[in-house]
Structure 1
């Protein structure tokens, strides 16, 4: 009986250990395998070192699934008969499952891809462990590639990782640097330095530097010999006199007179329109009076001209026949005699 009880306790402990182990594994796996997942695949054009099956799949840092399979496209998809072995068969495929409950309501995969949803490999710290990151990118910069095979699962396009982009940019820079004529540039720089050294030694530059030094010496001597202190004192005295003159009563009186003259000029300018209007009225009245006088003088002048003509005729008659003008004409002779 004692042995049977011992066996029973050992069996219970073993079963409890197994249950705890299974629960611990399920806990570490995050419930993976107990929930329905949607499987997607993507194609990587770089090394997947550090990415293993079971690696997390994160959407902007939030875990949404796990990597389920990693392999070569050339081994997974057969090349069609007669088709060329293009770069597409040099890729690495990565399949991963996503828990829809962790993602929530989303658009269709085609709409999400059109909006720029892409997958790429990201490093997790400095441990060398990688994971798959889902995020949105510029769809014009990273278009959807054409695949010469029929995928077994919905495809989410991939973009190069940050490390791959940096490496590619560095390779492009190195290629450009290789095309730069560094030796020619070094030779030109050496020739330039030699020419500069020769110019500063005995060339035009050396002559110019000596002339500048001589000019500076002459300027220093002129400054030391000149009475700068006296000139500054005279300038200060002139400034003081000008300040006193501006602050003196004469200047204040002149400013006041100028202000009064300006005010009087302003008042005169204000009265000027009325004076001009009165002058215009006077000119109009004088013009009207002149017209009336001309109208009245015209008949008088006509009569005066007629009288003058009569007097002139009478004077001519007196000059020609004074007796006839005074006594009249002689009697007409009688024709009957």
Structure 2
């Protein structure tokens, strides 16, 4: 009995020591580890390849793991993903989450985009129930590479179908014949250009000569223009000076003539007011005198000189 009691006592002591060792190990692990913070992410896309325990990275650095994946009951279009991230990870305002797929088929939650100096993401006091439906902060999402491809897959397939139809129409028998004709014409044109190669080379050489001659002519015209400017500067300027002197002399003569006319103006006015009427009266008197002389001459011619001194003879009276 005593031996059995000793075995029980030893076993009990050993169990107690093992329990203490386990508790000490857990305490050391917690002491050396870091605390975590939980966040919710609502993805409006497929989360294929993502599972509980999948890694969470921040700018490629492992920072946590996925704790829970479930459909969001209020709106089944969204998938709620609960992640636990190391408390030291800077989950600040501007941080976004996306799903990053790999060739092995597994996916990870990728976080990035925090702004320097921004406040940490937390549940606000106002509209807390609406913005934090499960009492943990919510990280907004952005479409990753695979998510964008999956969401745009229908449009991509539709565009590929349209492109295929257009290519089919473009490569019809009629269009193929037209393309073949265009290629034949291009070949003939290439052959013709190859045959005319020497003539084209000669034409290009003549064109170079013509361009060079045009350049020489332009240079000669420039020199002629410079010579013309020199002639104008040397010969025309003295002639213009002489012409200016002649114009000044003519102006002085015109001013002298105007002064003379001004001085003679009073005499001209007196002549026009006094002498001209007297001359008119004299002319009228001369006309009267001339008429009298004409009458006398006519009388002498008809009756003789005696008619000027004797009385005019009356005609003889004859009775009936």
Structure 1-normalised TM-score?
Answer: 0.50
The equivalences for 1:129-144 within 5 A come to: 130-135=108-113
Could you say which residue in structure 1 is the equivalent of 2:76?
A: 87
Alignment counterpart, residue 231 of structure 2, candidates 240, 260, 264: 260
1:177 to 2:160 alignment: yes
Deviations 1:191-233 (A, max 9, x none): 23453378579xxx87x9989989997x799x6xxxx8xxx8x
Partners of 2:288 and 2:277 in 1: CA distance: 17
Distance in structure 1 (CA, Å) of the matches to 2:180 and 2:256:
97
1:32 Cα deviation after fit: 2.3
Do structure 1's residue 195 and structure 2's residue 177 form an aligned pair? Answer: yes
Instruction: Go from structure 1 to structure 2 and tell me whether the alpha carbon gap of 1:190 and 1:175 turns closer, same or farther (over 3 Å shift).
Output: closer
User: CA 1:215–1:38 in structure 2 vs 1: closer, same or farther (change >3 Å)?
Assistant: closer
Corresponding residue number in structure 2 for 1:294: 265
Given the superposition, is the C-alpha separation of residues 170 and 272 from structure 1 closer, same or farther in structure 2, using an over 3 Å criterion? farther
Question: Of the candidates 92, 96, 100, which is equivalent to residue 84 of structure 2?
Answer: 96
Deviation digits for residues 26-70 of structure 1, max 9, x if unmatched? 69xx7223xxx5432112232252554373452x4566x533621
Q: Which residue of 2 aligns with 1:249?
A: none
Deviation, structure 1 residue 72 = 0.8
Per-residue CA distance 1:89-121 (angstroms, 9 max, x = gap): x5132232452x5539x6xxxxx3xxx542223
| Structure 1 residues 283-319: Cα deviation after superposition (integer angstroms, max 9, x where no partner) | 3443343343333322124333244235335535655
Larger Rg: 2
Question: For the residues of structure 1 that align with 2:27 and 2:241, how far apart are their CA atoms?
Answer: 107
* CA separation of 1:127 and 1:198: change in aligned 2, threshold 3 A: closer
Q: Distance in 2 between matches of 1:192 and 1:51?
A: 56
User: Would the alpha carbon gap of residues 187 and 51 (structure 1) be closer, same or farther in structure 2, given more than 3 Å must change?
Assistant: same
Q: Distance in 2 between matches of 1:171 and 1:319?
A: 134
Separation (CA, whole Å) in 1 of partners of 2:95 and 2:233: 80
> What CA distance in whole angstroms lies between the structure 2 residues aligned with 1:61 and 1:212?
58
Q: Structure 1's 43 and 102: CA in aligned 2 closer, same or farther, altered over 3 A?
A: closer
Q: Distance in 1 between matches of 2:40 and 2:111?
A: 13
Match of 2:144 in 1: 161
Q: 1:69 to 1:257 in 2, by over 3 A?
A: closer
Q: Which has the higher contact order (CA 8 A, sep 6+)?
A: 1
CA contact (8 A) 2:40 2:80 kept: no
Look up the match of 2:38: 39
Unaligned runs of at least 5 residues, structure 2: 1-17, 116-128, 294-320
Contact 1:124 1:131 in 2 (8 A): no
TM-score w.r.t. structure 2 length?
0.52
Quote the residue 2:125 is aligned against.
none
User: Corresponding residue for 1:6?
Assistant: none
> Does the CA-based 8 Å contact 1:40-1:153 persist in structure 2?
yes
2:47–2:99 contact (8 Å) kept in structure 1 = no
Determine the structure 2 residue equivalent to 1:67.
Answer: 65
Deviation at residue 133 of structure 1 after TM alignment: 0.8
What is the rounded CA distance, in whole Å, between the counterparts of 2:134 and 2:230 in structure 1? 98
